[in-house]
A and B are shown apart, each in its own frame.
Chain A
Amino acid sequence: MKKKIFTLLAMVMVAMTASAKIEGYALTKGANAHGTTTIKVGDAEADSAAEGTEVTVVVTPAKDYYVATVVARLYTTWGGAKTRGTSMQIDSKLLASKVKDKDNTYTFKMPAANVEVSVSYIESMEVETKEADNEDKAVDNVQVGIVPSNDADPYIDTETGEAVVPVEANSIKVPDQAEKTDVTVVIKPRTKSADGSVTYEIGKIMKNSFVTGSTSNAQVVGVFFEKSKNAIVIEDGAMTVDGRVLKVQTDISMLDDYANMTSLEDNVKQGVVSATAKPKNMYWTFSSGIDVLLPKGVKAYKVLWNNNAAEIVELTEEELKLKDELRGIKANNGVLLSCDSGEGGAEYVVVASPAAKITGAKPATDDAKSYTGNCLVPTIEDYNYSPASSYRMMHGNKFHTMSANGKVPACKAVLKVK
């Protein structure tokens, strides 16, 4: 009898345990190519957890690998097969968050659904090279070594749904070339990983990132920074290789952001920090947060607003005079430029003045008003002018009234008429 009661009790306990397990949701391991993953609830490894329970994921990467993302995705099972994303909004959500000061440990609150934990790793990133000045030869298979950023955590871009991993560049590998080859490296703000699982976002260039080694017959002579939301931080010395100062090129809207960096001071002094402008028409407006040299084949004007007419007055040699007797456009002034050819379409190289004052800070956005009577206002950063009726903007060689929509792009200027 006692034995029967004991057996019944045991069966009830088993049944209770089973019912408790039904209340929980499954925790499974997904992709993990270069390390091991341990999923825990409390201190014990777990393959299920109740809603609201804190789940910890500990990742141990293989040697020379860094964790890129830890993604916890919800899924349901149907007929034994996993069906991801009963709710696709949740499916693409990064649930895990990194525990501060505890490398490779991540936590999340268990949702009311099964969860699959996948880990991706940072691998070197392929970059393009660019032909420049007909001296540099583009080469293939150039890899930049990257490590996770110390300043930012991975996140999901709400616009694109991409898992974005902030990284820092720390080395470069250029395949050996048959003959001595100069390379200009193109740094895009975002690059898909080789397997397409994550998107790398370069936030910093570390020293020695572009050193190819004394035995290599390929050398980096320049770096082109494509347009990005924020300028990439450049560590001191990163743009000098073996005593050679690298050419730094960027989008015209970011010339002042880069030229104002103290880490690029030597490059600015050598006159190798530049951007290329390709105006669509003969007349184009310009402004910059740093002094720039006036490109050849271009004239600079201030614009006066008289009796509802936009009068243009060419800047005098005195007005064009920069520090150290250089000739160009002073920082934080709006100017109108015209192509001597009488039409647009050609490219003009705008060089940061070697004598420019480098602040090390983000360029100021105010109007320096260096040219008497000038009604052009500099647009140092993308800006929406309001009320729009107080301004006119250049387009197709004429000044137009403008709507309240959109933003005037950085490095342009608008005509203030009221």
Chain B
Amino acid sequence: MKKNIFCKILMALAVVVMPLALTGCDNEDVWAYPVLVRGDGVNINTHELTIEKGKTLQLTAQRDVVTHGQGMAWKSSDPEIATVDQNGLLTAIKAGEVKITAYTTGGKVSDEGYLFVTVVNPSVGVVDDQLDQSDAE
């Protein structure tokens, strides 16, 4: 009887522990976790950024789960509009819209985060003060 109870306890433990043991360190290989792209001026709610042509911005990719043995990579949907290097440095090339993706590498499942970037031309200020035409520079 005691042996029976002991067996039942062991089986119950096995049921609880096995899935944990199976997932272990590789749990990001089967479970997807969101990646959040951050940077100065980035709206983290809408995942949007507006940047002037010619400017650069350092982006970071943040995950809620700390992973081991995985890397983070970056890509741009249109490098003619904006490029992003593998350290997350964004460079605005010309006016237009582009999607920047940060994604994990090395795992069975790749987690991704997005940033929608609008590159605009730089602008010069406009003042309403009626100067004499001969003051034009």
Task: Tell me, yes or no, whether B86 is within 8 Å of chain A by CB.
Answer: no
Task: Tell me, yes or no, whether B134 is within 8 Å of chain A by CB.
Answer: yes
Contact check, A309 vs B123: say whether CB atoms are below 8 A apart: yes
Task: Tell me, yes or no, whether B136 is within 8 Å of chain A by CB.
Answer: yes
Contact check, B137 vs A311: say whether CB atoms are below 8 A apart: no
Q: Which residue of B lies closest to A406 (CB)?
A: B134
Docked pose: A298 CA to B104 CA in angstroms: 43
Interface string of B50-80 (1 = CB under 8 A from A): 0001000000000000000000000000000
Contact check, B133 vs A388: say whether CB atoms are below 8 A apart: yes
Question: Which residues of A are found within 8 Å of B137, using beta-carbon distances?
Answer: 279-281, 283-285, 393-396, 412
Task: Tell me, yes or no, whether B122 is within 8 Å of chain A by CB.
Answer: yes
Task: Tell me, yes or no, whether B40 is within 8 Å of chain A by CB.
Answer: no
Q: Given A280-B137, A393-B135, A409-B136, are A403 and B130 neighbors across the interface (CB < 8 Å)?
A: yes
Q: Given A394-B137, A408-B134, are A311 and B120 neighbors across the interface (CB < 8 Å)?
A: yes
Docked pose: A303 CA to B123 CA in angstroms: 9
**Which residues of chain B in 78-137 are interfacial with respect to chain A, using CB atoms and an 8 Å cutoff?**
95, 120-137
Question: Which residues of B are found within 8 Å of A336, using beta-carbon distances?
Answer: 124
Task: Tell me, yes or no, whether A270 is within 8 Å of chain B by CB.
Answer: no
Task: Tell me, yes or no, whether A407 is within 8 Å of chain B by CB.
Answer: yes
Contact check, A412 vs B136: say whether CB atoms are below 8 A apart: yes
Contact check, A407 vs B121: say whether CB atoms are below 8 A apart: no
Question: Which residues of A are found within 8 Å of B53, using beta-carbon distances?
Answer: 313
B26 → A minimal CB distance (Å):
50
Number of cross-chain contacts by CB at 8 Å: 97
Q: Given A310-B123, A311-B121, A311-B122, are A401 and B128 neighbors across the interface (CB < 8 Å)?
A: yes
B133 interface neighbour in A283, A284, A309, A403, Cβ under 8 Å: A403
**Which residues of chain A in 219-249 are interfacial with respect to chain B, using CB atoms and an 8 Å cutoff?**
none
Docked pose: A397 CA to B125 CA in angstroms: 8
Interface string of A164-198 (1 = CB under 8 A from B): 00000000000000000000000000000000000
Question: Which residues of A are found within 8 Å of B122, using beta-carbon distances?
Answer: 311-312
**Which residues of chain A in 362-418 are interfacial with respect to chain B, using CB atoms and an 8 Å cutoff?**
379, 384-385, 388, 392-409, 412, 414
Taking chain B's interface residues, is the majority helix, strand, or loop, or is none over half, making it mixed? Answer: mixed
Task: Tell me, yes or no, whether A304 is within 8 Å of chain B by CB.
Answer: yes
B47 → A minimal CB distance (Å):
24
Contact check, A395 vs B133: say whether CB atoms are below 8 A apart: no
A405 interface neighbour in B120, B127, B133, Cβ under 8 Å: B133
Q: Which residue of A lies closest to B131 (CB)?
A: A400
Contact-residue bracket for chain B:
20 to 34
Docked pose: A304 CA to B122 CA in angstroms: 10
Q: Given A311-B122, A311-B123, A312-B122, are A401 and B135 neighbors across the interface (CB < 8 Å)?
A: no
Task: Tell me, yes or no, whether A308 is within 8 Å of chain B by CB.
Answer: yes
B46 → A minimal CB distance (Å):
20
Docked pose: A396 CA to B126 CA in angstroms: 11
Contact check, B133 vs A407: say whether CB atoms are below 8 A apart: yes
Question: Which residues of B are found within 8 Å of A412, using beta-carbon distances?
Answer: 136-137
Docked pose: A412 CA to B135 CA in angstroms: 11
Docked pose: A398 CA to B137 CA in angstroms: 10
Question: Which residues of B are found within 8 Å of A384, using beta-carbon distances?
Answer: 133
Question: Which residues of B are found within 8 Å of A283, using beta-carbon distances?
Answer: 124, 137
**Which residues of chain A in 320-339 are interfacial with respect to chain B, using CB atoms and an 8 Å cutoff?**
336
Smallest CB-CB A-B distances: 8 pairs: A406-B134, A311-B121, A393-B136, A398-B125, A406-B133, A406-B132, A408-B136, A403-B130
A residues near B (Cβ < 8 Å) are: 279-281, 283-285, 303-304, 308-313, 336, 379, 384-385, 388, 392-409, 412, 414
B residues near A (Cβ < 8 Å) are: 53, 95, 120-137
Of the A-B pairs whose beta carbons lie under 8 Å apart in the complex, a sample of 7, sorted by A's number, is A281-B137, A310-B123, A395-B135, A399-B125, A406-B132, A406-B133, A409-B134
